[in-house]
Structure 1
Amino acid sequence: MRATAVVRAELRHGRTVLTELRGQVPLLPREVSVPGGVAEVVFVGGAAGPIGGDDLALRVEVGAGARLRVRTAAAAVILIGDGTPARQRVHLVIGAGGLLEWLPEPVVVAARAAFHSVVRAEPAPDARLFVQETLVLGRVGEPCGDALLRWDVLVDGRPVLRQQSGYGPAAHPGWRGPAGTAGGTVVATRLTLPAPPDRPTSAPGRAVCDLAGGGLLVTVTARDTMTAHRALAGMSASALAPATPAAPVAPLADQLSRATSSEPAVPSNNTSPVPAGAAVR
């Protein structure tokens, strides 16, 4: 299955409006009503999967000064399909002074399945970007499939982050070691640009990386999604605070804190991790 979706938000008369909202099964975007000055779109699943052989492409554009949050309605389970990888490409573009929160629910890679994901973000120099993704390596009681994840972030055409991580039987044998998941079955990653003022510190199971462009990348490994998200909790409320106070921002920060503190209904894997070292490879 091949499918594309486009979401475009613009600032009109001081208010963020969605000027384009279209998609194909299984990428079906829906606008939802939320309080505050941020528009919100939720992708609902129009079919099972993604499954092997699917090729999904999503583009999100936020115009100058606009503010948009994009979520998914439920976790995605990657299934084996035709034996080839399920592919997903996400392109995020944020104009001057704009803000984008990309907050999909976890992706679960089932046994023998393969998932290739590319996230490319192009924020303007004074734009704000908040991304959180969670990967679950296998369903309960089964081994994981293969996952290959790539992030590319460019600010004003200059690379701020280029990272590729592989997990599963096809990955380098060290992926479960101290420099990989350290035995954990959940990998949660959070990117904040610019970096929040209350920078966390690296710790067993959590790697914190300062980006050259002023952003912050935090990667957590854990044995279940609740533990992983607790390790990330507490950083979101201040992550989007601007350099100078502005009245509309406080409600957005509060909403984001509530949105990211809830736990998604996804199966956890009961494999116990070895004490973790650095999670970024």
Structure 2
Amino acid sequence: MRAGIVVIACAGRLARIEGGGGIAGRHTEPDTVHLVSTAATPLGGDSLNVRLVIEPGARLRIRTVAAAVTLPGACIDHSTARWDIENAGELDLDPQPTVVAGGSSHGTDVRIKLADTARLRLRERVQIGRCGERDGFWSGTLRVDVGAMPLLRHRVELGSGAVGDDALAAPRACISELRYPARKFETAGTLLELARGGSLATWQGDRLPAC
């Protein structure tokens, strides 16, 4: 299945939402859109494409109503999600965790273009396996530019077959949080200040902490 949604935020009005396939958007507050799955997705072979545009002076909060559980398909184990973001206003993107079920593989690709005036908070949470499962695989790529200049290139692999996975150290959960232009914020992870502004916090462990 191919699912896609576009959310465009303009100052002084509700965001415009265009979607199809297995995902829809719902206004829950004047500046907040919740993404809702309308079908059993992602299964192996599925691809999700999300495009967010935040115009100057606009504020947008993106949330999801439930965790995303990736499952292997009948013939294909791998599914993908791609986020393309253009932000000239203020964006707070904090979806519920992605749970990679045993036997499935999932890849996330996030590409962000920021204006100099933009403000951003992006949090991503991933858990390998449901109860008793440890053999799923996830890879995440994050690419962020401010204007024409690169801000961040970041890639993480997690789970069975990941580069850093071995018998002694095998984390099965991670949290990444990117903020721009803030250089410091409270976090339980390791905080890295970025050369062109902003900061990235990362945490890894066996299970995601309770909210």
**Does the TM-score normalized on the shorter chain lie above 0.5?**
yes
Maintained 8 Å contact 1:200/1:208? no
| Structure 2 residue 74 is the aligned partner of structure 1 residue 77 | no
Which of 21, 30, 39 does residue 26 from structure 2 map onto?
30
> What residue number does 1:225 align with?
208
2:44 aligned residue (52, 71, 74): 52
Question: Does the alignment pair 1:116 with 2:107?
Answer: yes
Tell me if structure 2 keeps the 8 A contact 1:16–1:67: no
> Offset of 1:47 from its aligned partner?
1.1
| Aligned twin of 2:161 | 170
Classify the secondary structure of the residue corresponding to 2:10.
strand
Partner of 1:270: none
TM-superposed CA distance for 1:226, in Å, is 2.4
How does the TM-score come out when normalised to structure 2?
0.92
Q: Name which of 76, 81, 87 aligns with 2:80.
A: 87
Q: CA deviation at 1:158?
A: 1.1
- Cα distance in 2 for residues equivalent to 1:176 and 1:218: 23
Q: Please report how far the alpha carbon of residue 224 of structure 1 lies from its aligned counterpart in structure 2 after TM superposition.
A: 2.7
Match of 1:195 in 2: 182
8 A Cα contact 1:176 1:184, kept in partner: no
Corresponding residue of 2:196 = 213
Q: Distance in 1 between matches of 2:115 and 2:13?
A: 18
Higher CA-based Rg: 1
Give the Å deviation of 1:176.
5.2
Identity of aligned residues (%): 33
Unmatched tracts of structure 1, length 5 or more: 228-262, 264-281
CA 1:199–1:40 in 2, change beyond 3 Å: closer, same or farther? Answer: closer
The superposition leaves residues 41-99 of structure 1 with CA deviations (integer Å, 9 ceiling, x where unpaired) of 0011111120110011100000001000011110010101132410110011112xx10
Contact persistence 2:134–2:160 (CA under 8 A): no
Q: Name the Cα RMSD after superposition.
A: 1.9
CA distance in 1, matches of 2:105, 2:189: 25
Q: Does 1:104 align with 2:81?
A: no
Give 1:168 shift: 2.4
Mapped partners of 1:62, 1:177: distance in 2: 44
Question: How many angstroms apart in 2 are the aligned matches of 1:158 and 1:23?
Answer: 31
Q: Count residues with an aligned counterpart.
A: 210
The structure with the largest helix share of the pair is 1
Q: Which residue of 1 aligns with 2:35?
A: 43
Q: 2:119 maps to what in 1?
A: 128
**Distance of 1:87 and 1:184 partners within structure 2:** 21
TM-score w.r.t. length of structure 1: 0.70
Gaps of 5+ in 2: none
- Equivalent in the alignment of 1:266: none
Secondary structure of the corresponding residue to residue 204 of structure 2: strand
- Structure 1 consecutive aligned stretches of length 4 or more whose deviation exceeds 6 Å: none
Task: Name the CA shift for 1:192/1:177 in 2 (closer, same or farther; >3 Å).
Answer: farther
Per the TM alignment, residue 153 of structure 1 is displaced from its structure 2 partner at its CA by 0.5
C-alpha contact (below 8 Å) 2:158/2:172 kept by paired residues: no
